[in-house]
A and B are shown apart, each in its own frame.
Chain A
């Protein structure tokens, strides 16, 4: 071979090698990261492992809220479109699919509701069909959701149609073994704007970050068939299930309260009603009921106002129940004594206004006991005038009014107590009988709990323990402050017992129940003026000598009678008639 041919061959070999090396450099060095990613996607399987939302337990360990298996039904549009017949329009095709699936979805939707009218059924039916039609008509999407949180039975019935292009993804939904028990206290789980589960109202809302946990990812090496290879521990961020909440709620007391408040609202023709029971020694919330309420399994059908826990979220003028605060303050500050006599001859004049009694009857030379028994506004104003604004306002704030109690429930309101600079004589006298300021039922019952707890105000709370696989956290009762002296509290307990036993509704009190408390019939302000509508409430504790519970019952705008003595007070006693035997509290003979 001539020398020139050898050289050409060498050059060609060199060029060929250079090309090979160049390509190798390109693929192995420059494109290294791309191929690493591609290789990883082939040999690694990344799975998102959903976190289970934490459960909520009653004080006796029974489950109030748990989780159950549910499914998301979706459609792969290119697949489902293949099922369309050639001479069938797409609208008709979608209608056919919808008519197969929609009845099954409708059946599940109405099964969770107690009563469903025909018009509600029609509305739900339209909603389901419209949604399916809308999703199946999406022009640019491949995957569309058709229904969320459907149960296993519904899934199996739809699977029986063998509609190619419809699939199911596993999910969970909340399960309520006690039905709608304590609905407003518990709250519900909806979706946030990312489509993730989120708690709203009550405990679900307040403790959402603890209940939801953390979704984990699992990265495993897999073989060609997708089976995991046990070469090393799988990597990834571990799933953290939500924490469980252990509450102070007494399931039986809650059940009785829910039933009785509903009956009371209906019997007395009220717009709504609320009740709270506290343990005065610890501040633990034993039960909390609100009516009207909503269906926990299907909150979408309820009006927005039904989600509010009226016990913590409704603000109202407390009326004569506030006299328990007025006289506690007046006695504790030394402004009056138990032997003090009120002239109470007629209306009191203050800042150009006249303060009258609710029935325009006057009781000259009344004792403190008589003032409370007659629920005498003039007597209360007299006590407030003896204190003065600064002393009275200090006690009002010390009792917790005008501020958040810090209870662990979403939706708490603080009520309105005017600033010192806005107080004058008329505010002083009207506040004495609970008008011109606004409070929540929780604030009122917490204040009375302080009176029944030797003057010590305890912070109200619902969750006593939070548990997780990592451990548990216990919450101890918290003493806020000594509001009044224990001697003053003892005196007030006797006065409030006398107020019940000698009050207007004494004939309605079941025999032997030694309960101390106070009625309150407060006019409701409408457009700056007081209307004929009222909030009728009764706040009390028992047994009077050694209180084990404090309870408030409030009926908003009752129509059967506007007075608490005819509505809230008898309802209070109906509730404790059922609870006393359960709690083992003896009734005096």
Chain B
């Protein structure tokens, strides 16, 4: 009789512990999920902002590249040279015997 009582008591204690563990685990996971969801939501906003910034920087790079190309254009260089009084030389002496074209 005494043995049966103690095993029943032991079972009840084990059951209570298991129940408490389950409740704590459930609560813990639920809290963790809330935290992770919150972090993801905020990250999504930051991701959108970062993507937008990348896009703007790429556009800016393209714009700068285009501006550089425009400033380096031969028509512009010729026009500036004429403005500054440069003239085409009639007498050009080539000193190097090697010819730079036909690179291959």
Are B74 and A227 in contact, CB atoms less than 8 angstroms apart?
Answer: no
Are A581 and B62 in contact, CB atoms less than 8 angstroms apart?
Answer: no
Q: Decide if B44 is an interface residue (CB 8 Å cutoff).
A: yes
The tally of residues in A whose CB lies under 8 Å from a CB in B reads 41
Residues of A within 8 A of B59 (CB): 69
Are A228 and B48 in contact, CB atoms less than 8 angstroms apart?
Answer: yes
- List residues of B (38-83) whose CB comes within 8 Å of A's CBs: 40-41, 43-45, 47-48, 59, 62-63, 65-66, 69-70, 72-75
Known: A230-B40, A581-B89. Contact between A477 and B104, CB under 8 A?
yes
State how many angstroms separate the Cβ of B64 from the closest Cβ of chain A: 11
Known: A581-B92, A585-B94, A586-B94. Contact between A181 and B74, CB under 8 A?
yes
Known: A67-B62, A69-B63, A227-B44. Contact between A584 and B99, CB under 8 A?
yes
Q: For chain B, which range describes its interface: under 10, 10 to 19, 20 to 34, or 35 or more residues?
A: 20 to 34
Binary contact readout A233-272 vs B (1 if CB under 8 angstroms, 0 otherwise) = 0000000000000000011100100000000000000000
How many angstroms from the CA of A586 to the CA of B44 in the assembled complex? Answer: 66
Q: Decide if B101 is an interface residue (CB 8 Å cutoff).
A: yes
Are A227 and B45 in contact, CB atoms less than 8 angstroms apart?
Answer: yes
Q: Decide if A231 is an interface residue (CB 8 Å cutoff).
A: yes
Q: Decide if B85 is an interface residue (CB 8 Å cutoff).
A: no
Are A282 and B102 in contact, CB atoms less than 8 angstroms apart?
Answer: yes
Q: Decide if A68 is an interface residue (CB 8 Å cutoff).
A: yes
Q: Decide if A485 is an interface residue (CB 8 Å cutoff).
A: no
Q: Decide if A63 is an interface residue (CB 8 Å cutoff).
A: yes
State how many angstroms separate the Cβ of B51 from the closest Cβ of chain A: 8
How many angstroms from the CA of A223 to the CA of B102 in the assembled complex? Answer: 60
How many angstroms from the CA of A228 to the CA of B43 in the assembled complex? Answer: 8
Residues of B within 8 A of A543 (CB): 99
Q: Decide if B7 is an interface residue (CB 8 Å cutoff).
A: no
Residues of B within 8 A of A179 (CB): 73, 75
State how many angstroms separate the Cβ of A271 from the closest Cβ of chain B: 26
Q: A228: which of B47, B72, B99 is its contact (CB, 8 Å)?
A: B47
Are A584 and B48 in contact, CB atoms less than 8 angstroms apart?
Answer: no
State how many angstroms separate the Cβ of A388 from the closest Cβ of chain B: 37
How many angstroms from the CA of A227 to the CA of B50 in the assembled complex? Answer: 12
Binary contact readout A449-487 vs B (1 if CB under 8 angstroms, 0 otherwise) = 000000000000000000000000000010000000000
With both beta carbons as reference points, the residue of chain A lying nearest to B75 in the complex is identified as A179
Known: A229-B44, A279-B102, A583-B99. Contact between A177 and B69, CB under 8 A?
yes
Are B104 and A63 in contact, CB atoms less than 8 angstroms apart?
Answer: no
Are B97 and A228 in contact, CB atoms less than 8 angstroms apart?
Answer: no
Residues of A within 8 A of B99 (CB): 543, 546, 548, 583-585
Q: Decide if B6 is an interface residue (CB 8 Å cutoff).
A: no
Are A177 and B72 in contact, CB atoms less than 8 angstroms apart?
Answer: yes
State how many angstroms separate the Cβ of B83 from the closest Cβ of chain A: 18
How many angstroms from the CA of A546 to the CA of B75 in the assembled complex? Answer: 32
- List residues of A (541-582) whose CB comes within 8 Å of B's CBs: 543, 546, 548-549, 578, 580-581
How many angstroms from the CA of A209 to the CA of B96 in the assembled complex? Answer: 44
State how many angstroms separate the Cβ of A517 from the closest Cβ of chain B: 18
With both beta carbons as reference points, the residue of chain B lying nearest to A228 in the complex is identified as B44
Are A282 and B104 in contact, CB atoms less than 8 angstroms apart?
Answer: yes
For A222, A223, A228, which residue has the most chain B Cβ atoms within 10 angstroms?
A: A228
Are A62 and B69 in contact, CB atoms less than 8 angstroms apart?
Answer: yes
Residues of A within 8 A of B44 (CB): 222-223, 227-230
How many angstroms from the CA of A230 to the CA of B51 in the assembled complex? Answer: 13
State how many angstroms separate the Cβ of B80 from the closest Cβ of chain A: 14
With both beta carbons as reference points, the residue of chain B lying nearest to A67 in the complex is identified as B62
Known: A66-B62, A178-B73, A281-B104. Contact between A586 and B89, CB under 8 A?
no
> What are 15 A-B residue pairs whose CB atoms fall within 8 Å in the complex?
A62-B69, A63-B66, A66-B65, A68-B63, A69-B62, A69-B63, A181-B74, A181-B75, A229-B44, A230-B43, A281-B104, A543-B99, A546-B99, A584-B101, A586-B94
Seed contacts A66-B62, A67-B62, A175-B66; 16 additional CB < 8 Å A-B pairs: A62-B69, A66-B66, A66-B69, A177-B69, A229-B41, A229-B44, A286-B101, A543-B99, A548-B99, A581-B89, A584-B96, A584-B98, A584-B99, A584-B100, A585-B101, A586-B97
Q: List the 8 closest A-B pairs by CB distance, nearest first.
A: A177-B69, A581-B92, A586-B94, A230-B43, A229-B44, A63-B69, A228-B44, A255-B74
